[in-house]
């Protein structure tokens, strides 16, 4: 029988988590200051040469991207390190209706058809903000990676006593060898396309950690050229069929 001492590995993992959390916090303030100055300069950019106007716009877009990355890193750090509080009843219908509305707003002008079907349990036992973050990441990813005029389905349903939220699209799809790594931080199935669509590369990592805190699982099915289906599955203990009065 082989016995491995994992103490050192755990220490290194904790050091990594602490480092990411501390660096993210330290970068937040100076980046906010820089973004503020860039925004102020951009408001008066009409007096600048055209070349400087283009540079300011690029600086502004990159500062927004950095702010998004730091925000997602802090979210991941909190999900990894914070203790679970007492879960509450999370009503699914209003939550998904808002996410669907936000997805349509994000898609504006691209001709997507976005539908919402809610035939599952009325609520889950969990944390509203975390579930909103996970479900939104999946819905917004579908909008970003589905070509103009495509179809996106948001589906809430019950399967064999378990609850399931799925996002299905007819977008570009993902090759099989990428799927096991999609929830890794900053992993890109198609780096060139990711630059076009934006994003931080942390969305699916956040989804993974939210589901871990809800005793759920993420299932991914995809066919290149035909589309993808991302499903969050929750166990029967999390399902609430009737709201408490």
Low-confidence ranges of the chain (pLDDT < 50): none
Alpha helices (runs of H) in 126-190, residue ranges in sequence order: 128-145
Report pLDDT for 25.
67
- Say if residues 153 and 168 touch (Cβ distance below 8 Å): yes
> What pLDDT does 241 receive?
83
State the Cα angle at 106 between 100 and 110, rounded to 5°.
105
Q: Which domains does the chain have, with CATH numbers?
A: 7-81 (1.10.287.130), 88-240 (3.30.565.10)
pLDDT at position 179: 93
User: And the tokens for 239?
Assistant: 């399902």
Instruction: Note the pLDDT of residue 30.
Output: 80
The CA–CA distances, whole Å, from 244 to 14, 123, 125, 214 equal 39, 10, 12, 20
CA distances from 168 to 37, 108, 139, 226 (A): 41, 19, 9, 11
pLDDT of residue 21: 63
- Nearest 5 degrees, angle CA 119-CA 124-CA 129? 115
What pLDDT does residue 231 have? 97
For 198-233, write each residue's pLDDT tens digit: 667 888 999 999 999 999 999 999 999 999 999 999
**Residue 214 CA, distance from chain mean position:** 16
Cβ neighbour number for residue 178 with a 10 Å cutoff: 15
From 67, 9, 11, select the one nearest 38 (Cα to Cα): 67
Residue 103: predicted pLDDT = 95
Q: Which two tokens stand for residue 43?
A: 């408001």
β-pairing, 227-234 with 216-223? antiparallel
CB-based contact 56:94 (threshold 8 Å): no
Note the maximum CA span of the chain.
75
Q: CB of 167 within 8 A of CB of 138?
A: yes
What global pTM score does this model have?
0.79
Angle between helices 128-145 and 203-213 (to 10 degrees): 150
**For position 198, what pLDDT does the model report?**
61
C-alpha separations of 166 from 26, 55, 185 in Å? 36, 40, 22
Q: Return the sign of the alpha-carbon dihedral for residues 6, 11, 17, 20.
A: negative
């Amino acid at each position: 029988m082989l016995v491995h001492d994992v103490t050192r590995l755990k220490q290194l993992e904790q050091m990594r988590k602490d480092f990411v959390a501390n660096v993210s916090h330290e970068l937040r303030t100076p980046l906010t200051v820089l973004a503020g100055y860039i925004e102020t300069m951009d408001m008066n950019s009409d007096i600048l040469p055209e070349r400087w106007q283009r540079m300011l716009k690029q600086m502004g877009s990159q500062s927004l991207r950095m702010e998004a990355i730091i925000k997602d890193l802090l979210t991941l750090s909190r999900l990894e390190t914070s203790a679970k509080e007492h879960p509450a009843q999370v009503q699914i219908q209003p939550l998904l209706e808002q996410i669907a509305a936000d997805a349509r707003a994000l898609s504006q002008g691209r001709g997507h058809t976005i539908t919402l079907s809610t035939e599952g349990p009325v609520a889950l036992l969990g944390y509203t903000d975390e579930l909103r973050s996970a479900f939104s990441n999946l819905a917004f990813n579908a909008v970003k990676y589905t070509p103009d005029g495509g179809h996106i389905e948001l589906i809430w349903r019950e399967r064999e006593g378990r609850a399931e939220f799925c996002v299905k699209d007819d977008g570009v799809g993902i090759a099989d060898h990428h799927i096991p790594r999609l929830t890794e931080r900053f992993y890109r199935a198609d780096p060139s396309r990711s630059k076009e669509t934006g994003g931080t590369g942390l969305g699916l990592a956040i989804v993974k950690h939210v589901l871990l805190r809800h005793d759920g699982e993420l299932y991914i099915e995809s066919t290149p050229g035909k589309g993808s289906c991302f499903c969050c599955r929750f166990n029967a203990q999390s399902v609430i069929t009737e709201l408490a009065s």
